[in-house]
Amino acid sequence: WQRWLFVGIGAAATLTVPAVAETPEQLDQLVVATPAAGLELARAQAQAGDLLPALSTIERLLFANPKNKEARLMHAVLLCRLDDLSGAAVHIAQLKRKDYPPADWQQMMTVCGAKGAD
What is the SS3 assignment for 61? Answer: helix
pLDDT at 7 over 50: no
pLDDT at 2 over 60: no
At 20-75, the pLDDT tens digits run: 456 667 666 766 668 898 899 999 999 999 999 999 999 999 998 999 999 999 99
- pLDDT band for position 114 (cuts 50, 70, 90): low
**Which residues 6+ apart lie within 8 Å of 99 measured at CB?**
69
Residue 27's closest CA among 74, 52, 59, 67? 59
